[in-house]
Amino acid sequence: MKFETPQTVEQAVALLAADSGARVLAGGTDLLVRLRAGHIAPSAIVDIKHIDGMGEITQQADGGWRIGAGVPCAAMGEHAGLVADYPGVVEGAELIGSTQVQGRCTMVGNLCNAGPAGDSVPALVAAGAMVRVAGPNGTRDVPVLHIPTAPGKTSLAKGEFVTSVYLPPRGARGGDAYLRFIPRTEMDIAVVGCAVNVILEEDGTVACAGVALGAVAPTVLLVAEAAEALIGTKCDDAALAACAAAATAAATPIDDKRGTVAFRKDVSGVLARRAAKLAYVRAKGD
């Protein structure tokens, strides 16, 4: 096994395209576990953290945010500007693992690991986040929603890797939230996760919304019906109830030791209602 430290995106793409056994290393909190367990035997490890921008969180000219693929989740929580604009995205990212794992793990790694229960993914999907994908044919911007295709599978082609996440400009009246259900208080895998992102009119009416569910389908779900239940309302009880019902209806979970189908569907609605309320309060800023 080789260890490569490309200095540019082009070098990294060339290494990945030339060797189908090569694996990308960012935070390593999934890769090293699988390596040690013998589940993978890569021919090369390509550490992308030496490439410019991989460790950066930068506000773009349009007011949106670009978060490099090597940014550890702990660094997101320490970034006051990002936390102010996207508290839900940050709270999802900060739920992954322990303090020590937070020091290494990345949102892009969580996304490309393609686990159905990845905690940082629903809030990105609810916010309409994009990722920048570099590959042999140049770069393309792809909605986060379209990266995972099945548990453990992504839409990335050979030689491609994600270089950054882009969050759209927050604007004057926007807010988001991510909530999950786990049987303990920390360090666990979501039984259900739900993120809501809302943007309000001046009078407090919801102009635009995104509702995303994790852990209740093979990939993260963007639930249009749940978002439509909020749009045009001030998140009153009737709107929240309709949002919850739509989330429950959209969830297609499996039965396993951590939760039954019926329980997960019910909790999907509960979390959608609570996350919508919290996102709305944050968007209003009072």
Partner 1 sequence: MSRIHVSTTINGDDVDYLCEAGDTLLDVLRDQLDLTGSKEGCASGDCGACTVRLDGRLVCACLVLGAEAEGRSVETIEGMAEGEELHPLQRNFINKAALQCGICTPGILVAAKDLLERNPDPTEEEVRYWLAGNLCRCTGYDKIIRTVLETAAEMRGAA
Judged by CB under 8 A, does residue 172 bind partner 1? Answer: no
Q: Which of 66, 104, 264, 282 binds partner 1 (CB under 8 A)?
A: 104
The long-range contacts involving 205-211, CB below 8 angstroms and separated by at least 24 positions, are 205/232, 205/233, 205/234, 206/230, 206/231, 206/232, 206/233, 206/234, 206/235, 206/239, 206/280, 207/231, 209/276, 210/125, 210/126, 210/127, 210/128, 211/126, 211/243, 211/246, 211/247, 211/272, 211/275, 211/276
Stretch near partner 1 under the rule CB under 8 A, chosen from 44-52, 124-132, 148-156, 276-284: 44-52
Residue 99 binding partner 1, by CB under 8 A:
yes
Q: Which of 14, 83, 101, 231 binds partner 1 (CB under 8 A)?
A: 101
Q: How far is the CB of 61 from partner 1 (least distance, A)?
A: 30
SS3 breakdown of the chain: % helix, strand, coil, rounded to 5?
Answer: 35, 25, 40
DSSP 217: S
**Which one of 22-30, 195-203, 245-253, 278-286 is the stretch in contact with partner 1 (CB under 8 A)?**
22-30
Of the candidate residues 35, 208, 254, 261, the single one contacting partner 1 (CB under 8 A): 35
Q: Which of these segments, 41-49, 144-152, 207-215, 227-235, binds partner 1 (CB under 8 A)?
A: 41-49
Pick the binder of partner 1 from 68, 97, 210, 253 (CB under 8 A): 97
Least distance (Å) between residue 186 CB and partner 1: 5
281: CB partners within 8 A, 6+ apart: 175
Residue 189 interacting with partner 1 (CB under 8 A) = no
Among 38, 39, 186, 257, which residue sits at the site for partner 1 (rule: CB under 8 A)?
Answer: 186
Determine, following the binding rule CB under 8 A, whether residue 3 of this chain makes contact with partner 1.
yes
- Cα separation of 60 and 48, whole Å? 22
Q: What is the DSSP letter of 97?
A: S
Of 8, 18, 21, 32, the one binding partner 1 (CB under 8 A) is: 32
Q: What is the DSSP letter of 106?
A: -
CB of 122 to partner 1, least distance (A): 22
C-beta closer to partner 1: residue 184 or 257: 184
- Considering the complex, state which of residue 62 and residue 99 has its C-beta at the smaller distance from partner 1: 99
CB of 189 to partner 1, least distance (A): 12
Using the rule CB under 8 A, is 37 a contact of partner 1? yes
* Cβ closest to partner 1, residue 3 vs residue 61: 3
> Burial code of 191-217, b = ≥16 C-beta within 10 A, e = fewer?
bbbbbbbbbbeeeeebeebbbbbbbbb
- H or E element at residue 182: none
Residues near partner 1 (CB under 8 A): 1-3, 5, 25, 28-29, 32-33, 35-37, 44-45, 47, 49, 72, 74, 97-101, 103-104, 186-187
